[in-house]
Chain A
């Protein structure tokens, strides 16, 4: 099969990243925000891998692994916080926890 064009993948990563970013801004439900963050992380990982594949070096993939690890840790702690938030504010509205302001 024909070699994959770099900017094609990069554009894909950019699109995914922006969609994830838009998701973070648009949704008020914290779960959706976390999911969008996952999308953004995944898009970033994609960019790393495609860079690595361009030189045929494993470094891109090593970076992806680190991102994976970070994403795993982040989701676990994030969701634990979401649980606490839910118990505390009885709703998943991100703006409910807006006490620190002014």
Chain B
């Protein structure tokens, strides 16, 4: 049964090829079933394989070698799939959430043209993401890595008619490509120094040959981190994610919330040995995580476009995962990835339903009181928001975020400041989450809105809502080790976080975290339901307006990058369009022309002029002969 592993990535890619070759000729219903079916099948197969793992997770691994990709000298990577506990979690989330989103997009894209093209790209995306997650060497990981980057480009620019979407797609691809190049250079460095790119072998050799904190390890880890930052839209390469909302909503749900943006988290988790060998880089991860979660959270608080709020929220939540990775709580990061995938996908799909109902209206302040018009969407959106803001005990978000905060405090590499940043982030998260909820679903109904969308769209919402609550069960403490089920499951692959000293005030941390999330909810209630005028007033003040503009533009990173990189590059290339080196050769040609003209003038046709020339020549030669 384990040799069915190759089916998981193969099915979506097969779906892609079928849809690309025959897509436009198939009726819509068939395209939809093919697109969704393939992902569903991989979901089923991955669940079957998951059964084999059981809960014990004692380093059980399924590998399958497909074929020898390359063999040149000592570099001979194989196409082989490597499924262990970590990849299983990723595969399960990707395929299940992917399946639900495909189901949703059958309804969402019903009356859009380019239907088969959409499903083809979505299948290609799921396929490349699965290749990325199941890769057993860094080169095929890189193949999946670029594949998902490509699909995000294709899907963001799906409505290619509007060139703004094209610009957003190119911006996303180029910025992630910056990270990918750093990752590629990291790969070269690793191969040249350690002789292999097989992940497991690489880790053992790194551990054996590189002392902790050696310069080469730090550089390698830094390059891998740069790759992860590019793909997971962390500081400083996060400007592309808010613009990536130009794509259809299911795309944002699948790619820019659940799966692709967490590829960076997976990469760091997969190569955690390298990061433990480079402590400065690991603390850098934590700091980046903390900074990103604060900045993105604040920016999310002032956005007007429903999808941009969620985009900034994604950046902020991934900041939490990076924080967890930074403090060495590997499995906590994975746990938060799982819960985040569920509730963020739910929020995006809910937003998609709302947008569809308001016929493509994105501005939340033009919506209101949808509570009564769209009950199912409202309730599922409420669960999503609750889970996002980690309402205590009832939502899965709480368990994963609390675990991260606890470990941020108690872990060896953690510190009080990181914990404080986390808690502040939690407060802001619930603030903007509930603001979104109240503005969109409460208040007086401003405009007309259609009712709940069809079953194919509401079903995934309900399932995701259930999942974002049920996922909390994974946090049930294991009777034997007292550690949480998810941690136990992943213990085979990811080492447990080293706790600094035993006496962490468990209860105190729990209390503070829940106060933060409930406090955020209440504040949002106050600002946006009881005294909406007050919030407006606050923004009008001069200081308020400048802060608002700073936050709204995502801390002005776009403007900085335009002036620093995009502007000069465009200006330079436009000026140099005709290639100044060409001018050198044009100049040579021009000078020979001038020289030819001057020579031409000396031939005047007058006999006496020529005699004069002869005489002059005679004089000069005699002069030289006689005097020199």
A99 pairs with B605, CB closer than 8 A? yes
Tell me, in angstroms, the Cα distance from A102 to B606 when the chains sit together.
Answer: 11
B608 pairs with A28, CB closer than 8 A? yes
A25 pairs with B612, CB closer than 8 A? yes
A102 pairs with B603, CB closer than 8 A? yes
Tell me, in angstroms, the Cα distance from A40 to B607 when the chains sit together.
Answer: 17
List residues of A whose CB falls within 8 A of some B CB.
21, 24-25, 28, 33, 94-95, 97-102
Residues on the B chain within 8 Å of A21, using CB:
611, 615
**What is the CB-to-nearest-CB distance from B615 to chain A, in angstroms, rounded to a whole number?**
6
Tell me, in angstroms, the Cα distance from A98 to B600 when the chains sit together.
Answer: 14
**Number of B residues with CB within 8 Å of any CB on chain A:** 11
A25 pairs with B603, CB closer than 8 A? no
B615 pairs with A25, CB closer than 8 A? yes
B600, B603, B606, B612: the one contacting A95 at CB < 8 Å is B606
Residues on the A chain within 8 Å of B601, using CB:
102
B615 pairs with A95, CB closer than 8 A? no
Indicate if B481 sits at the interface (CB-CB under 8 A). no
Tell me, in angstroms, the Cα distance from A98 to B611 when the chains sit together.
Answer: 14
**What is the CB-to-nearest-CB distance from B621 to chain A, in angstroms, rounded to a whole number?**
15
**What is the CB-to-nearest-CB distance from B163 to chain A, in angstroms, rounded to a whole number?**
56
Residues on the A chain within 8 Å of B603, using CB:
100-102
Contact with A along B587-614 (1 / 0, CB 8 A): 0000000000000110111111001100
B600, B608, B612, B615: the one contacting A94 at CB < 8 Å is B608
A25 pairs with B611, CB closer than 8 A? yes
A24, A25, A28, A100: the one contacting B605 at CB < 8 Å is A100
Tell me, in angstroms, the Cα distance from A95 to B606 when the chains sit together.
Answer: 5
Tell me, in angstroms, the Cα distance from A78 to B601 when the chains sit together.
Answer: 28
Tell me, in angstroms, the Cα distance from A98 to B604 when the chains sit together.
Answer: 7
Tell me, in angstroms, the Cα distance from A21 to B611 when the chains sit together.
Answer: 9
Residues on the B chain within 8 Å of A28, using CB:
608
A94 pairs with B607, CB closer than 8 A? yes
With both beta carbons as reference points, the residue of chain B lying nearest to A36 in the complex is identified as B611
Tell me, in angstroms, the Cα distance from A99 to B600 when the chains sit together.
Answer: 14
Residues on the B chain within 8 Å of A95, using CB:
606-608
Q: Give the A-B contact count at a CB cut-off of 8 A.
A: 32
With both beta carbons as reference points, the residue of chain A lying nearest to B618 in the complex is identified as A21
Contact with A along B118-146 (1 / 0, CB 8 A): 00000000000000000000000000000
Residues on the A chain within 8 Å of B611, using CB:
21, 24-25
Tell me, in angstroms, the Cα distance from A21 to B612 when the chains sit together.
Answer: 9
B612 pairs with A98, CB closer than 8 A? no
Tell me, in angstroms, the Cα distance from A33 to B612 when the chains sit together.
Answer: 13
**What is the CB-to-nearest-CB distance from B366 to chain A, in angstroms, rounded to a whole number?**
79
B604 pairs with A24, CB closer than 8 A? no
Tell me, in angstroms, the Cα distance from A71 to B28 when the chains sit together.
Answer: 106
**What is the CB-to-nearest-CB distance from B614 to chain A, in angstroms, rounded to a whole number?**
9
B608 pairs with A102, CB closer than 8 A? no
**What is the CB-to-nearest-CB distance from B139 to chain A, in angstroms, rounded to a whole number?**
68
Residues on the B chain within 8 Å of A24, using CB:
608, 611
Residues on the A chain within 8 Å of B606, using CB:
94-95, 98
Tell me, in angstroms, the Cα distance from A24 to B605 when the chains sit together.
Answer: 16
**What is the CB-to-nearest-CB distance from B613 to chain A, in angstroms, rounded to a whole number?**
11
With both beta carbons as reference points, the residue of chain B lying nearest to A30 in the complex is identified as B607
Tell me, in angstroms, the Cα distance from A97 to B606 when the chains sit together.
Answer: 8
Tell me, in angstroms, the Cα distance from A102 to B601 when the chains sit together.
Answer: 6
Cβ-closest 10 pairs across A and B: A101-B605, A98-B605, A95-B606, A94-B607, A24-B611, A100-B605, A101-B603, A102-B600, A98-B606, A101-B604
With both beta carbons as reference points, the residue of chain B lying nearest to A37 in the complex is identified as B611
List, sorted by A's number, 28 A–B pairs whose CB atoms are closer than 8 Å: A21-B611, A24-B608, A24-B611, A25-B608, A25-B611, A25-B612, A28-B608, A33-B607, A33-B608, A94-B606, A94-B607, A94-B608, A95-B606, A95-B607, A97-B605, A97-B607, A98-B604, A98-B605, A98-B606, A99-B605, A100-B603, A100-B605, A101-B603, A101-B604, A101-B605, A102-B600, A102-B601, A102-B605
Residues on the A chain within 8 Å of B600, using CB:
102
Residues on the B chain within 8 Å of A98, using CB:
604-606
Residues on the A chain within 8 Å of B607, using CB:
33, 94-95, 97
Tell me, in angstroms, the Cα distance from A28 to B611 when the chains sit together.
Answer: 12
Tell me, in angstroms, the Cα distance from A95 to B605 when the chains sit together.
Answer: 8
Tell me, in angstroms, the Cα distance from A28 to B612 when the chains sit together.
Answer: 13
Tell me, in angstroms, the Cα distance from A37 to B608 when the chains sit together.
Answer: 12
Tell me, in angstroms, the Cα distance from A34 to B606 when the chains sit together.
Answer: 15
**What is the CB-to-nearest-CB distance from A23 to chain B, in angstroms, rounded to a whole number?**
10
Residues on the A chain within 8 Å of B605, using CB:
97-102
With both beta carbons as reference points, the residue of chain B lying nearest to A21 in the complex is identified as B615
Residues on the B chain within 8 Å of A94, using CB:
606-608
With both beta carbons as reference points, the residue of chain A lying nearest to B600 in the complex is identified as A102
Tell me, in angstroms, the Cα distance from A1 to B59 when the chains sit together.
Answer: 134
Residues on the A chain within 8 Å of B604, using CB:
98, 101
Given A33-B608, A95-B606, A101-B605, output 10 extra A-B contacts at Cβ < 8 Å. Answer: A21-B615, A25-B608, A25-B615, A33-B607, A94-B608, A97-B607, A98-B605, A100-B603, A100-B605, A101-B603
Tell me, in angstroms, the Cα distance from A94 to B607 when the chains sit together.
Answer: 7
**What is the CB-to-nearest-CB distance from A84 to chain B, in angstroms, rounded to a whole number?**
15
Tell me, in angstroms, the Cα distance from A33 to B605 when the chains sit together.
Answer: 16
Tell me, in angstroms, the Cα distance from A99 to B607 when the chains sit together.
Answer: 11
With both beta carbons as reference points, the residue of chain B lying nearest to A28 in the complex is identified as B608
Contact with A along B342-371 (1 / 0, CB 8 A): 000000000000000000000000000000
Tell me, in angstroms, the Cα distance from A71 to B612 when the chains sit together.
Answer: 21
With both beta carbons as reference points, the residue of chain A lying nearest to B615 in the complex is identified as A21
**What is the CB-to-nearest-CB distance from A15 to chain B, in angstroms, rounded to a whole number?**
15
**What is the CB-to-nearest-CB distance from B461 to chain A, in angstroms, rounded to a whole number?**
88
With both beta carbons as reference points, the residue of chain B lying nearest to A98 in the complex is identified as B605
**What is the CB-to-nearest-CB distance from A44 to chain B, in angstroms, rounded to a whole number?**
13
Tell me, in angstroms, the Cα distance from A98 to B605 when the chains sit together.
Answer: 4
Tell me, in angstroms, the Cα distance from A24 to B611 when the chains sit together.
Answer: 8
Tell me, in angstroms, the Cα distance from A100 to B610 when the chains sit together.
Answer: 12
With both beta carbons as reference points, the residue of chain B lying nearest to A18 in the complex is identified as B615
**What is the CB-to-nearest-CB distance from B103 to chain A, in angstroms, rounded to a whole number?**
84
**What is the CB-to-nearest-CB distance from A47 to chain B, in angstroms, rounded to a whole number?**
14
**What is the CB-to-nearest-CB distance from B581 to chain A, in angstroms, rounded to a whole number?**
34
Tell me, in angstroms, the Cα distance from A9 to B605 when the chains sit together.
Answer: 37
Tell me, in angstroms, the Cα distance from A98 to B606 when the chains sit together.
Answer: 5
Tell me, in angstroms, the Cα distance from A16 to B601 when the chains sit together.
Answer: 33
